[in-house]
Amino acid sequence: MSFLKVTELSKHYNNTHKALENFSLQLPKGGILSMVGESGSGKSSLLRIIAGLEVQSAGLVHLGDQKILNPDQKLVAGYDEIQLIHQEYKLYPNSTVEENIARPLLLYDKAYQKERTETLLSMLRLQDHRNKKPRQLSGGQQQKVAIARALSIEPEVLLLDEPFSSLDVIQKRILIEELKDIFEELKVTVIFVTHEVEDAMLMSEDLVVIQKGEIVQQGKAQELVEQPASEYVARLFGFLNKIPKMDNTFIRPIDIRVSAKGELMGKVLSKQYLLQYNLLKVEVADEVWRIVDFQRALTIGESIGLDFDESNFLKFKA
Ligand SMILES: Nc1ncnc2c1ncn2[C@@H]1O[C@H](COP(=O)(O)OP(=O)(O)OP(=O)(O)O)[C@@H](O)[C@H]1O
């Protein structure tokens, strides 16, 4: 059953520049979807239109039976039910964490205000910071407060536009894992936009890849990894090695074995020490391949045989 429904949305800035083209998407209530796309692919435009903050050139957005009106159709742009959070989301600098979270609840009954604020402080584990001002918090904690504030009025939909891009990797991973559980518990419907595929996979199994304003692939993470619809999608998940003399045919480093009687011979050009393996650059025919060496046994200049199963080839249309 679709709850958030985007139908054939297009957005052309200045009547020419196409930020979105015929974009359709459906999410069930409580669904979490991660959207990956490079800069300029139309992700922010999409979220702003879904939130009712931007006028589309064509197409519709529905939340349940309700048609989302754009700023040309509605006196006050936006909806309480749909909250958009982005990287530069501003907290009230002179208010405490507690006050920031309670702010959208000012018109509500006092007892409910208190109860809801306490729930969110506890859910997001911000109790110890309740009396601090935003500047006394780390970037990750500030984004948590922003999310708590957005969640205070119990929105149906949360739209996250690269909200963690200013955080360091460790902070970010912990926060994504924490938030995923909270979103599931609250049954809020979430679209999480990022250009980092690993962050997308941490947040949800359901992924959409967007390129130049169009969906290039949508599905479970495993489907996208195993059957990428294009070279672009495949490269999002890591290096590809081109098979010599075969057009548009590739193999991933992880699918290659180093073996004395390999199908192809290669020469190690360089090696890079990474956390779980050495990543080698290997000259193979006229190509430079990336090979993973878990044993860290291979040395620069060494000639090696490379073996693989053709069933692991990734073939794309030209
Ligand atoms: N207000 C605007 N006026 C004109 N062009 C715009 C406007 N906003 C966005 N664009 C253009 O529309 C395209 C899509 O932009 P959008 O910000 O939606 O993409 P994005 O995927 O969110 O990019 P980023 O990750 O860099 O934020 C880009 O080419 C951008 O330059």
CA of 46 to the centre of ligand 1 (A): 10
Asked whether the CA dihedral 118, 120, 123, 128 is positive or negative, the reply is: negative
pLDDT single digits (tens) 273-290: 999 999 999 999 989 999
Rounded to whole angstroms, the Cα distance separating 14 from 61 reads 21
pLDDT single digits (tens) 300-309: 999 999 999 9
Tell me: pLDDT of 89 over 80. no
Query: What is the pLDDT confidence band of residue 197, given thresholds at 50, 70 and 90?
Result: very high
Write down the pTM of the prediction: 0.91
Q: Which of 9-13, 83-87, 150-154, 229-233 bottoms out in mean pLDDT, i.e. has the lowest? A: 83-87
Query: Considering only CA atoms, which residue is closest to atom 6 of ligand 1?
Result: 13
Tell me: pLDDT of 208 over 90. yes
> Which residues belong to CATH 3.40.50.300 in the chain?
4-231
Average pLDDT over residues 192-204: 94
Picking from 88, 74, 58, 77, the residue whose alpha carbon sits closest to that of residue 165 is 88
Task: Write out the DSSP string of 243-260.
Answer: PTTSTTEEE-GGG-EE-T
> Which residues belong to CATH 2.40.50.140 in the chain?
239-315
Q: Show the CA angle centred on residue 206, arms to residues 204 and 211, nearest 5°.
A: 110
Query: What is the pLDDT confidence band of residue 7, given thresholds at 50, 70 and 90?
Result: very high
What is the DSSP pairing of strand 278-284 with strand 287-293? antiparallel
What is the DSSP pairing of strand 189-194 with strand 4-13? unpaired
Percent of the chain with pLDDT over 70: 100
State the complex-level ipTM.
0.94
Residue 261: its pLDDT value, please?
A: 80
Helices marked H in 187-315 — which ranges?
Answer: 197-203, 221-226, 231-236
CATH class of 4-231: alpha beta
User: Cα(first)–Cα(last) distance of the chain, in Å?
Assistant: 36
pLDDT single digits (tens) 31-52: 999 999 988 899 999 999 999 9
Query: What is the pLDDT confidence band of residue 203, given thresholds at 50, 70 and 90?
Result: very high
Rounded to whole angstroms, the Cα distance separating 72 from 69 reads 8
Atom of ligand 1 nearest to the CA of 162: 25
Residue 80: its pLDDT value, please?
A: 93
- For residue 72, how many other CB atoms are within 10 A of its CB? 8
Rounded to whole angstroms, the Cα distance separating 167 from 231 reads 29
Q: Are 258 and 293 in contact (CB under 8 A)?
A: yes
Rounded to whole angstroms, the Cα distance separating 23 from 151 reads 27
The answer to whether the CB of 13 is under 6 A from ligand 1 is: yes
239-315 CATH:
2.40.50.140
pLDDT single digits (tens) 57-84: 999 999 999 999 999 999 999 999 999 9
Task: Write out the DSSP string of 225-240.
Answer: HHS-SSHHHHHHTS--
Residue 157: its pLDDT value, please?
A: 97
Query: Considering only CA atoms, which residue is closest to atom 16 of ligand 1?
Result: 42
Q: Which of 86-90, 188-192, 200-204, 269-273 bottoms out in mean pLDDT, i.e. has the lowest? A: 86-90
To test the pocket of ligand 1, the residue of 14, 18, 35, 45 to mutate (highest count of ligand atoms within 8 Å of its CB) is: 45
- What are the strands, taking DSSP E only, across the chain? 4-13, 17-27, 32-36, 58-63, 66-67, 82-86, 157-161, 189-194, 206-211, 214-220, 241-242, 249-251, 257-258, 264-273, 278-284, 287-293, 303-307, 314-315
The answer to whether the CB of 39 is under 6 A from ligand 1 is: yes
Residue 163: its pLDDT value, please?
A: 87
Instruction: Identify the three-state secondary structure at position 216.
Output: strand
List of residues 6+ apart from 225 with CB closer than 8 A: 237
Atom of ligand 1 nearest to the CA of 161: 22
